[in-house]
Amino acid sequence: MNQQTPQIPVVRMEHITKHFPGVLANDDVSLELYPGQVLALLGENGAGKSTLMNMLVGLYRPDGGSIYIRGELADIHSPQDSMALGVGMIHQEFMLVGNMTVAENIVLGMRDLPFVPKIDEIRARITELSKRYGLQVDPDAVIHDLSVGEQQRVEILKLVYRGADILILDEPTAVLTPGESRDLNKIIKKMLSEGKSAIFITHKMDEVIEFSHKVQVLRKGKTVNTCDTAGVTPQDLANMMVGRDILFSLDRCAYNPGGVKLKVDHVTVVNPIGSRPFLDDVSLEIHRGEIIGIAGVAGNGQTQLTEAITGLLHCTSGKILIDGKDMTNSTPLQVIRAGVSHIPADRGANGVVGDMSVGDNLAMKKYRTSEISRGAVIKRSFLRAFADKLIEAFVIKTPDQDTCVKFLSGGNIQKTILAREIDSCGGVLIAVYPSRGLDVGATEAVRQNLILQRDKGNAVLLVSEELDELQMVADKIAVMFEGRIMGIRDVKETNTEELGMMMAGAAGVRRNA
Amino acid sequence: MRIVVEKRDNKSKSAAVLIPLASFAISLILGAIVLLASRSNPLQAYSAMLDGAFGNARRFQYTIVESIPLLMCGLGVGVAFRLKFWNIGAEGQYVWGAIGITWVMQFWKFLPVPMLLPIGLLVGMTLGAVWAGVPGYLKAQWSVDETLTTLMLNYVAIGLAEYLYISAWKAPLGNMGTPEFPHEAWLPPVWGKIHSGLYIALAFVVLLWFLLYKTRWGFELNMIGKNPRAARYQGVSIKRNIVLAMLLSGAICGLAGSMNTAAIAHRLTKGVDGGYGFTGIIIAWMAGLNPFASILVAIVMAALTTGADALQIAMKLPESMGEVLQGLVLIPLLAGSIFVEHKLKVIKKEAA
């Protein structure tokens, strides 16, 4: 906090304005960051946090306003320019080359690199920096083989290696386990003690309180409030962010499961390039009117489980039954026809076609049906009416249905997928990290929709990394570790400690054993 | 002060029209420089080209005749390009079309003569489809890179055609070329030199427009071309569609070859690999894969060819000058296309 008031801010953004077609992304936003400080930038999706930061690192140019770095007017045209000023950003999607090593990734693209780089010196420097900040990574490891948390450390190292002392982190904890988040917090504290400073984009209230000294709340491109973190409550922040009161618990019908809808019976999926299988003898039953949550650290077979069910991944052995009918190794289309809807992880890559319109994306399941087509021909008028109906029902914020999906905010892209999948759902809904990276409002909408599907008698499989979410939404929680199910617990009969132990690989632990 | 290239916030409609026009003007200027260097008057040369391409009915007809196979090949490769499947084997598929119709005309003696033309066109189409289907299948099944397979298969097809017209199927008289097709089996003319292949080509423009923009299949191809992963998650079979699109692509290129053979040379002979398949790639690209726009682009490309011939005769310029001018038209047009999505911005350095 402002220990010495006359200090010059390391970053000062004044009256920044940025237009995009149809939206005013930033409207006269000003910001100050002091050395040794963490500023949390809080806001819903589409509030303009990432846009503001992208201007600071030269990915976008502001339409109006000016940026000062250490008191001097800065003219930033590219990430190289900002890097030269010591400002570096870690994006939500990591910018790493998967089949190159950590060391190669760290120096990749550095301009002053000699034609033949001295790899030993680079390695020594990386090792020194990782010791100094507690960023343990093996410089010779290949990115592919690293966990998401480790990849993030590589991204941080990349910036530190290049001499960044102002770090911008865009939702850094969205992909981390609770343990990894705590490590990240330690790393950042260490850096602050050396006079570095950080801006932290987030929409998680508890993180603001845990990590930051000051918090600036954005809503619809404008600054709503800037205050010291000490003394604010999560509820205050949530209200500032959304502009209304948020429900922290959700209404639902009593748990009253029907018959078995989806059965996964001793399914094994071998990994052609790894030593341990993706799925190792996994068995699971989901009843009608039930939400089964899958907990676990990312990369322990959760996505593979959903892909095996949806026909996207070949099962080596075992069976998958829907309504008692053998659907093992069916094509994705057959599984869709059997009534399975899928909200995939990585929505931008798997869930939508970014260069197609919102309307087309909404129709990507139903275009095969008479609701949109007559025989082989798509009726545009039917498609338009269908899309308008879903846009209204799911409150998708878009200028119109002809806008390309890639121009929507993350929350509205997810709502587009949610609308399509729920509309076409025929009994089973599979949702993989559906609220990842979403703001409070959108997260609430996603969760309520999942519960609504359960209450309607559908079988819901929810994969999540957030235990809070699973405990709030699911009826039963299965924990996955290294491709196996460590145990299935009734939500009411378990607690965070037990689930956490199982996530770490301790099978069959009982509470207070 | 410096100049940077920035992505346009939204695609500009006027830029989409003005930029190709400006590019064309630039290419005329570049061409003028080359012409001046070879001591010719550029204005005279250009008017000779224009006159050669459209100067009278006969020249106009030649230009249209030249544009028909170009349009067909452009349409054909365009289908594959929608899937980002880089079919650069249109030349080989075209040659197979020519081989197919020759085979029917020369050896299918059991057919009544009026049936020779329709069956010949169908067989040519089928062989073109098969020739394209092979790389399609290899890609779908084992991810074999299609640029290499389609390119290499061109040379196999061209080599086979040479073997056939020089040796195996050679007419008893003459030293090159198969026997002439029966007169009754030629593609009938509609106006002077222009043959009824024009109708077939225009029918394919409408057919493809309908197929690609109005049907479920076109919707699926669009999804795969823009995000194959998401398409797969939506239950669209990528393997099946790659093979289907390649079959259609090859069929159209094959039909181009059999049509042109039945209309112009009336036999398989030297010059069957006239480069229509390669120019078709440029046409598809410049037309933005739009079937209707392909018509215009094909006529421009054809006019450059027929106009260049006139350049030779009227201006006594070497034959290669025509090719130089064609190349000079293409480069600014293709290079200019980036400005449809990007813009230049001049940044003045402020005093620090």
| pLDDT tens readout for residues A308-360 | 999 999 999 999 999 999 999 999 999 999 999 999 988 888 999 999 999 99
Claim to verify: residue B224 and residue B77 sit in the same structural domain: yes
Per-residue model confidence (pLDDT) at position A243: 67
Claim to verify: residue B236 and residue B158 sit in the same structural domain: yes
Is pLDDT at B184 greater than 50 in this prediction?
Answer: yes
| pLDDT tens readout for residues B105-157 | 999 989 898 889 999 999 999 999 999 999 999 999 999 999 999 999 999 99
Structure tokens at A328: 């093992």
Claim to verify: residue B274 and residue B325 sit in the same structural domain: no
Contact between A473 and A462 under an 8 Å Cβ cutoff? The reply is yes
Per-residue model confidence (pLDDT) at position A513: 33
What is chain A's mean pLDDT, rounded?
86
Per-residue model confidence (pLDDT) at position A503: 77
Cβ neighbours, 10 Å, residue A255: 15
**In A108-261, alpha helices (H):** 119-133, 148-161, 178-193, 205-211, 234-242
CA B18 → CA A296, A303, B7, B22, B283, distances in Å?
56, 48, 17, 6, 19
Whether the CB of B341 is below 8 Å from some CB of chain A: the reply is no
Domain end position, chosen among B311, B326, B344: B311
Q: Mutate which of B6, B219, B289 to test chain A, going by most A C-beta atoms within 10 A? A: B219
Claim to verify: residue B110 and residue B206 sit in the same structural domain: yes
pTM of the model: 0.76
Q: Mutate which of B12, B221, B233, B240 to test chain A, going by most A C-beta atoms within 10 A? A: B233
Claim to verify: residue B20 and residue B134 sit in the same structural domain: no
* Record: contact A344-B233, CB cut-off 8 A: yes
Per-residue model confidence (pLDDT) at position B197: 92
State how far residue B183 is from chain A, nearest Cα, in angstroms. Answer: 41
Which region among A249-253, A405-409, A432-436, B201-205 has the lowest average model confidence (pLDDT)? A249-253
Contact between A367 and A383 under an 8 Å Cβ cutoff? The reply is yes
Percent of chain B residues topping a pLDDT of 70: 95
Q: Does residue A354 sit in helix, strand or coil?
A: coil
Claim to verify: residue B118 and residue B188 sit in the same structural domain: yes
Structure tokens at A271: 């990994």
Residue B135 lies in a domain: yes
Contact between A170 and A200 under an 8 Å Cβ cutoff? The reply is no
Is pLDDT at A198 greater than 90 in this prediction?
Answer: yes
Contact between B58 and B265 under an 8 Å Cβ cutoff? The reply is no
Q: How far apart are CA A434 and CA A431, in angstroms?
A: 6
3-state DSSP percent of chain A in helix, strand and coil, to 5: 35, 25, 40
Claim to verify: residue B140 and residue B202 sit in the same structural domain: yes
* Record: contact B232-A312, CB cut-off 8 A: yes
Residue B219 lies in a domain: yes
* Contacts B222 to A, Cβ<8 Å: 353, 356, 360
Claim to verify: residue B293 and residue B325 sit in the same structural domain: no
CA A481 → CA A77, A276, A299, A414, B231, distances in Å?
45, 12, 9, 27, 30
- Residues near A305 by beta carbon (within 8 Å), at least 6 away in sequence: A264, A267, A279, A282, A284, A294, A463, A480
Is pLDDT at A120 greater than 90 in this prediction?
Answer: no
Claim to verify: residue B235 and residue B278 sit in the same structural domain: yes
Q: Which residue among B9, B222, B235 places its CB closest to the CB of A333?
A: B235
Q: Does residue A42 sit in helix, strand or coil?
A: strand
ipTM for the complex? 0.84
The confidence band for A6, taking pLDDT boundaries of 50, 70 and 90, is: low
Domain that holds residue B13: 1-40+317-352
Q: How far apart are CA A424 and CA A16, in angstroms?
A: 43
Domains of chain A in start order, with CATH, are 11-242 (3.40.50.300), 260-503 (3.40.50.300)
Claim to verify: residue B270 and residue B333 sit in the same structural domain: no
Is pLDDT at B341 greater than 90 in this prediction?
Answer: no
Claim to verify: residue B11 and residue B154 sit in the same structural domain: no
- Among B71, B31, B50, which Cα is nearest to B304's? B50
Is pLDDT at A383 greater than 80 in this prediction?
Answer: yes
Structurally, how many domains does chain B consist of? Answer: 2
Residue B267 lies in a domain: yes
What is chain B's mean pLDDT, rounded?
89
Residue B53 lies in a domain: no
| pLDDT tens readout for residues A437-485 | 777 778 888 899 999 999 999 999 999 877 888 988 999 999 998 899 9
- Residues near B114 by beta carbon (within 8 Å), at least 6 away in sequence: B184, B185
Residue B273 lies in a domain: yes
Q: Mutate which of B84, B227, B347, B348 to test chain A, going by most A C-beta atoms within 10 A? A: B227
Residue B55 lies in a domain: no
**Chain A residues within 8 Å of chain B (Cβ atoms):** 19-21, 61, 72-73, 75, 77, 310, 312, 331-333, 335-337, 342, 344, 349-356, 360, 364-365, 367-368, 373, 376-378
Q: Which residue among A331, A342, A378 places its CB closest to the CB of B219?
A: A378
Per-residue model confidence (pLDDT) at position A2: 45
Is pLDDT at B255 greater than 90 in this prediction?
Answer: yes
A-B CB pairs within 8 A amount to 74
Q: Which residue among B229, B235, B349 places its CB closest to the CB of A350?
A: B229
| pLDDT tens readout for residues A126-178 | 999 888 888 888 888 898 888 777 888 899 888 888 888 899 998 887 767 77
Using a 10 angstrom Cβ sphere, with 0-12 exposed, 13-18 middle and 19 or more buried, the burial of residue A334 is middle
Domain end position, chosen among B278, B294, B311: B311
Claim to verify: residue B305 and residue B322 sit in the same structural domain: no
- Beta strands at A377-378 and A373-374: parallel, antiparallel or unpaired: antiparallel
